[in-house]
Amino acid sequence: MADKNIAVRDRLIFAMDVPDCRQARKLADELGDSVNFYKLGLELMMTGEYFELLDWMLARDKKVFADLKFFDIPATVGAAVRGLRNRGATFVTVHGNQAIMEAAAENKGDDLKVLAVTVLTSLDRGDLDDLGFDCDVEALVLSRARRALETGCDGVISSGLEAPQLREHIDHKLLVVTPGIRPVDNKPSGDQKRVVSVEQAFGNGADHIVVGRPIRDAASPRAAAESIQATIATVFG
């Protein structure tokens, strides 16, 4: 397991995938202190109230992962990261080649950490074939992770399935944030294809896990989050 100095209850990041900021605030209030770290993505960005919600989260001592997956020419990505770096977010995601990642890293400042997307957990071997990648998933993840570290990024977004190889072949200082978590079983569902359990993710070397539907769609989201937190506490106990 990764041994970085991360508060145990900050290892769970809840994916706030709801259609508007009113619902986001309501759900955050319901979750209370069961969740300390929130992922705010593109759906909420398009509401026009993204930064108001970010500030609202920060005022309640929550951490924010701005999952915006910047992908454009390097100058534009650098400018976007520069515009975000003083807004209080902890993480931001970028896609792209070495020049794009370098631009993001050069503009992140002291507090914002840049996470490079390796291979989305919604993609499998067939999807990579469609995209023209003539290599296996593991090789592609390792290649992108190496480039991310070389360019000054702080970490990567990676399935827990590839995390062991990242820890074996890439410097341990690299942050590994793992989506595609299924607390109950390890069966793909929805748009996630490469999934792992909470225990598997951390056992394989993840620093943080990102969980969405298993909390959001539970009969009691707070109880679901607390159950995951209890599992994490056991893992790191």
Residues classed as catalytic: 69
Rounded Cα–Cα distance for residues 52 and 49 (Å) = 5
Tokens 């990764």 correspond to what residue?
Answer: 2
Residue of 84, 73, 83 whose CA lies nearest to 40: 84
Q: Are 85 and 107 in contact (CB under 8 A)?
A: yes
Q: Kindly state the DSSP code that residue 33 receives in the 8-state scheme.
A: G
Residue with tokens 């259609």: 19
Rounded CA-CA distance 15/89 in Å is 14
Task: Work out the number of other CB atoms within 10 angstroms of the CB of residue 124.
Answer: 13
Token reading at 119: 């291979």
Buried/exposed code over 157-174 (b: 16+ C-beta within 10 A; e: otherwise) = bbbbbbbebbbeebeeeb
155, 158, 233: which is closest to 198 by C-alpha?
233
- C-alpha dist (Å) from residue 211 to 10, 52, 110, 190, 215: 12, 23, 27, 13, 7
| Distance from C-alpha of 92 to C-alpha of 221, rounded to nearest angstrom | 25
